[in-house]
Amino acid sequence: MKLLKWFSFRGKGDKSIARKQQFIAQKISRRYCFSAVSFFALQSVVALLGSLDLVIPDLPSPIPFEFGRAIHLGLADLWPLIGTMGMVFFFTTAELNREIYSPRLARWQYWIVMLFSVSIFGTLALRIGNGREFLEGMPIFYVGICLALALASYNLIRTLLTDKRNITPASATMTVGIIFLFLLLLPNTITYRNPITDEVTKFWVVHLWEEMAFELTSAGFIATFYVVSGLAPRAQVEKWLYLEASMAVVGGFYGTGHHYYWIGFPAVWLAVGSLVSVVEVIPVGMLAIMTYKGLKSVKVRSNREKLTLWLLLSSVFYHLTGASLLGLFITIPWVNLYMHGTYVTSGHAHLALFGSLGFVVLAGCYYILSRGSEPTLKGYKRGVLAVCLLNGGLITMASALLVAGFMETYFWRILGMDFMEVRLLINPYLIMRVLGGAMFTLGNLLLSWRIFKAWQTTKYKK
């Protein structure tokens, strides 16, 4: 039996996940993914209005810019989190080929994470917040998100322990990722008087969530998908997974040092932060090589897998460029001294948070919500068009932000020109960002619609 299971899941181009019975956890994961995609659609609309507000200051708006920005940043963290929760349940059951420990807990977890996320956005819209960038909702709501993550961690640990001998590296990596998401958010549920402690714990979410915990959950999904679509043999994928997981943990922990440069930490972090950040780039490079080799030797035929791959390839591209290489450049202490907090950071943030993480979560959500239906050729082409619009929009937005950031660095930080004069000089680039944002929003709505259609078609399928 065990041997049979091995072959049913381990072969090259293994389609068994797609064909197998649907577990309850996999049905539940659809809710998470559906909500994540809906929040993503909302985020672009909010952000587009915000970016317009920056270039047309008297634009009538129901919410002041700072609260709109806070909602935008809250969404930027929370929709990938909700999508990731769904992906982890789906791919853990697929990897282990059995049900999770408690589907009921997974259902509760969904309502809890939704309740507290909506509470964060709702109260921010009512202008109630704490001003702590990225975590601007009231602290009590983050207790709720923590509770959801604690339930997920417990459920996944119990799932793995039910049959210890059959734990796969991908399922273990995803579980560890979820545990880290919980542990890193936990210190952020209380408030600190000491501003250094406050900043550091904030970066455990802003940086460590993205570059360590999400890195692990995404790696588990990528590994499973590469095996299923036949892009790489399991042995090779698992080798990469071990390396990626260990480097994400080591690189993530010490690499966070690049956020400690100017907040009152000892100077040794300038060296630790910059040197260890190099480690973060290695597994991404390996993933790119593995993907390149896979694409050269295998032809993916299913339209559903091809569209997932378009989204994944976009993610690999930005992971390597906008996140890793650009991140490494702004990590150099002499560069960071001048560029810190300029629009270059915003360019990197969009390329990394959406480009790298957002695309991977969308790939997972699309794959899960379209399970059991192949898109028509027309549907597939529209999906590809949506991905192109998202890419075109993101590249336009990020290029405009990078130029604006370099100008800020030179005119404001180096030449010492007046802030407002510089602000006028960069205005054309902020207008260009609005145009990029419009293209991005169009791609977003088109893709969300495609995913919605896939969800509708597969809604009642067993």
Question: b/e for 289-314, b at 16 or more Cβ within 10 A?
Answer: ebbeebeeeeebeebbbbbbbbbbbb
Site string for ligand HEM, 278-307 (x = CB under 6 A): --x---------------------------
Q: How many residues bind ligand HEM (CB under 6 A)?
A: 40
The residues in 211-230 that bind ligand HEM, with binding defined as CB under 6 A, are 211
Gap between the Cα atoms of 327 and 325, Å rounded: 5
Gap between the Cα atoms of 383 and 449, Å rounded: 9
Nearer to ligand HEM, 51 or 123 (CB): 51
Residue 444: name the closest of 29, 48, 33, 32 by CA. Answer: 48
Nearer to ligand HEM, 206 or 241 (CB): 206
Under the binding rule (CB under 6 A), the answer on residue 400 touching ligand HEM is: no
* Structural tokens at position 266: 């000892």
Nearer to ligand HEM, 72 or 450 (CB): 72
Residues comprising the chain, all counted = 462
The residues in 173-212 that bind ligand HEM, with binding defined as CB under 6 A, are 206, 210-211
Gap between the Cα atoms of 397 and 139, Å rounded: 32
Residue 214: name the closest of 184, 187, 254, 255 by CA. Answer: 184
* Structural tokens at position 339: 């560029």
Kindly tell me which residue out of 30, 234, 304, 348 binds ligand HEM, with binding defined by CB under 6 A.
348
> How far from chain centre, in Å, is Cα 327?
16
Kindly tell me which residue out of 69, 234, 371, 382 binds ligand HEM, with binding defined by CB under 6 A.
69
CB 227 within 8 A of CB 14: yes
Under the binding rule (CB under 6 A), the answer on residue 324 touching ligand HEM is: yes
Kindly tell me which residue out of 346, 373, 457, 458 binds ligand HEM, with binding defined by CB under 6 A.
346
Part of the chain binding ligand HEM (CB under 6 A), chosen from 69-77, 308-316, 406-414, 452-460: 69-77
**In degrees, to the nearest 5, what angle opens at C-alpha 433 toward C-alphas 333 and 131?**
60
Under the binding rule (CB under 6 A), the answer on residue 409 touching ligand HEM is: no
Measured from each CB, the residue nearest to ligand HEM is 327
Kindly tell me which residue out of 30, 234, 258, 304 binds ligand HEM, with binding defined by CB under 6 A.
258
* Structural tokens at position 98: 């059995």
Under the binding rule (CB under 6 A), the answer on residue 152 touching ligand HEM is: no
Task: Provide the binding-site residues for ligand HEM, judged by CB under 6 A.
Answer: 43-44, 47-48, 50-51, 54, 69, 72-73, 76, 206, 210-211, 258, 277, 280, 323-324, 327-328, 330-331, 336, 340-341, 345-346, 348-350, 352-354, 356-358, 437, 440-441
